[in-house]
Structure 1
Amino acid sequence: MPNPAKIRQAIRAKRRSLTTQEHRANSLSAATHFICNPQLIHCNHIALYLAADGELDTQPLIRRLRQLHKKLYLPVLKPGTNNSLWFAEYRDGERLIPNRFGIAEPNIRHSKPKPAWSLDLIVMPLVAFNSEGTRIGMGGGYYDRTLSYQLRHQRWIRPKLVGYAHAFQCIEELTREHWDVPLHGIITERGYKSYR
Structure 2
Amino acid sequence: MSVDTLSRAACRHQLRQARRALSPEQQKQAAIGLARHLPDHTLVQHAQSVALYIANDGELDPHLLAEVLHTRGKRLALPVLHPFHSQHLLFLEYLPGQPMRTNRYGIPEPDLDKTRVVPMAELDLILLPLVGFDNAGNRMGMGGGFYDRTLGCLDMGARPQLIGLAHECQRVDQLPVAPWDVPMDAIATAEGLIDLAG
1: distance between equivalents of 2:33 and 2:74?
A: 20
The equivalent of 2:157 in structure 1 is 155
Aligned partner of 2:53 in structure 1 is 49
Q: Distance in 1 between matches of 2:95 and 2:64?
A: 16
1:94–1:111 CA distance, 2 compared to 1 (3 A): farther
Are 1:51 and 1:58, in contact at CA under 8 Å, matched by a contact in 2? Answer: yes
Q: Per-residue deviation at 1:111? A: 4.3
Task: For 2:8 and 2:38, locate their aligned partners in 1 and report how far apart those are by CA, in whole Å.
Answer: 28
Count of aligned pairs: 193
Partner in structure 2 of residue 166 of structure 1: 167
Helix, strand or coil: the match of 2:116? coil
Residue number among 129, 132, 137 corresponding to 2:133 in the alignment: 129
Q: Percent identity?
A: 38
One-letter identity of the residue aligned with 1:183: M
* Mean Cα deviation higher: 85-94 or 133-142: 85-94
Q: Shift of the alpha carbon at 1:72?
A: 0.7
Match of 1:113 among 109, 117, 126: 117
1:89–1:111 contact (8 Å) kept in structure 2: no
Show the counterpart of 2:36.
32
Q: Separation in 2 of the partners of 1:131 and 1:92?
A: 31
Which runs of 5 or more residues in structure 2 are unaligned? none
Runs of 4 or more consecutive aligned structure 1 residues displaced over 6 Å after TM superposition = none
Supply the distance in 2 between the matched residues of 1:61 and 1:174 (Cα, whole angstroms): 27
What is the root-mean-square deviation in Å for CA atoms of aligned residues?
Answer: 1.6
1:4 is matched with: 8
Deviations 1:22-51 (Å, cap 9, x if unpaired)?
A: 211122112212112123122110000011
Distance in 2 of aligned mates of 1:154 and 1:39: 16
Q: Structure 1's 132 and 142: CA in aligned 2 closer, same or farther, altered over 3 A?
A: same
Could you tell me the TM-score, scaled by structure 2's length?
Answer: 0.91
User: Structure 1-normalised TM-score?
Assistant: 0.92
Deviates further, 112-121 or 184-193: 112-121
Q: Structure 2 CA distance, aligned partners of 1:46 and 1:28?
A: 19
Write the mapping of 1:50-129 to structure 2, written as runs, cut at 5 A.
Answer: 50-109=54-113, 111-129=115-133
Q: What does residue 19 of structure 1 align with? A: 23
Q: Give the Å deviation of 1:110.
A: 6.3
